[in-house]
Structure 1
Amino acid sequence: MLPPSRTPPSTPALAPTPDPLTPDRDITHEHFQAGDQVVVIKGVAGKELWGDAVRVVAPSWHTPTDEDGWRLRDPDGGAQTFITAHPRYLVHLSRHCPDCLIYLRAMADHLLPRFAGHDDAVIDCGWYTITTLGQLVHVADARGGR
């Protein structure tokens, strides 16, 4: 399995799909360090997982979960060059650590069979949104009135 890559250029199809893994993932703030390249898994592209690749920049409070998060930088810039995210949303790309590999494999085992017949499609599972404060929020962490 290849590591997830940046969102493919085609417009993804939104396919609300339950995420039984990320909300219960037990990864602490200390698991990541400034400078780490990480990915946020968002769905499936063809026969692979895909997501947004970003770099960990600095510690930052993640308001939606009231826990330590990380400030992330999108190397492609744009309207959301910097966002804040909870560590459980992140997977290492810059190094192969056992915790991230286990999560990545479990996510592949969960998602790839669901979309096996959509070989050319880019599927966004609809798990994340970005708040007006520039915070990436998983649907399981979203609170009313954000």
Structure 2
Amino acid sequence: MSQPPPTSAFAPTPDPLTPDRDITHAHFQAGDTVVVLKGVAGGELWGDAMRVVAPSWHTPTDEDGWRLRDATGGVQSYITGHPRYFVHLSRRCPDCLIYLRAMENALLLRFADRDKLIDCGWYTTTALGQLVHIADIRGGR
């Protein structure tokens, strides 16, 4: 599910769901495998798969977050993210499935005519190693 994001002429694409998603910190547990949805590739959603490691404060939102580990490494193996950014991969839970289907409905038709990987441009990583959705960026950081 994880592929390197190319530069996209279509980014950022509005994210109609994630900023208002109501998922608490307790929805996830250490050891869960999750995906952070980032776009569309070949008619499917794609994102970065990671393992939930430990509770962590998410400074950009001033809320409880989770420390995540990317098993494939990359530029940064550990980041902190807000729970509303995650979808369970390790189990089929109704809340995550509803969110996943809603994201598919919002995005797949929009990019149905494109086979390339589309990075919707929703996320950035701060200097503190925190994954931040563009709707959560405060004060231009």
TM over 0.5: yes
Deviations 1:20-57 (A, max 9, x none): 10000000000000000000000000100000000000
In the alignment, does 2:121 pair up with 1:121?
A: no
Q: Is the 8 A contact 1:39 1:93 kept in 2?
A: yes
CA–CA distance in structure 1, aligned partners of residues 34 and 51 of structure 2: 6
**Residues 66-85 of structure 1 mapped to structure 2, 5 A cutoff:** 66-85=62-81
* Structure 1 unmatched runs, 5+: none
Report the Cα offset of residue 145 of structure 1: 4.9
Question: For residue 24 of structure 1, what is the aligned residue in structure 2?
Answer: 20
CA–CA distance in structure 1, aligned partners of residues 140 and 18 of structure 2: 22
* Structure 2 unmatched runs, 5+: none
Q: Normalising by the residue count of structure 2, what TM-score does the alignment of the two structures yield?
A: 0.95
Q: Equivalent of 1:106, from 102, 107, 115?
A: 102
Q: Equivalent of 2:133, from 135, 138, 145?
A: 138
Q: Is the 8 A contact 1:12 1:122 kept in 2?
A: no
CA–CA distance in structure 2, aligned partners of residues 75 and 117 of structure 1: 32
Aligned length: 140
Query: After the TM superposition, which segments of 4 or more aligned residues of structure 1 sit over 4 Å from their partners?
Result: none
In the alignment, does 2:70 pair up with 1:38?
A: no
Q: Normalising by the residue count of structure 1, what TM-score does the alignment of the two structures yield?
A: 0.92
Report the Cα offset of residue 6 of structure 1: 1.2
CA–CA distance in structure 2, aligned partners of residues 144 and 137 of structure 1: 13
CA–CA distance in structure 2, aligned partners of residues 38 and 14 of structure 1: 27
CA–CA distance in structure 1, aligned partners of residues 5 and 133 of structure 2: 23
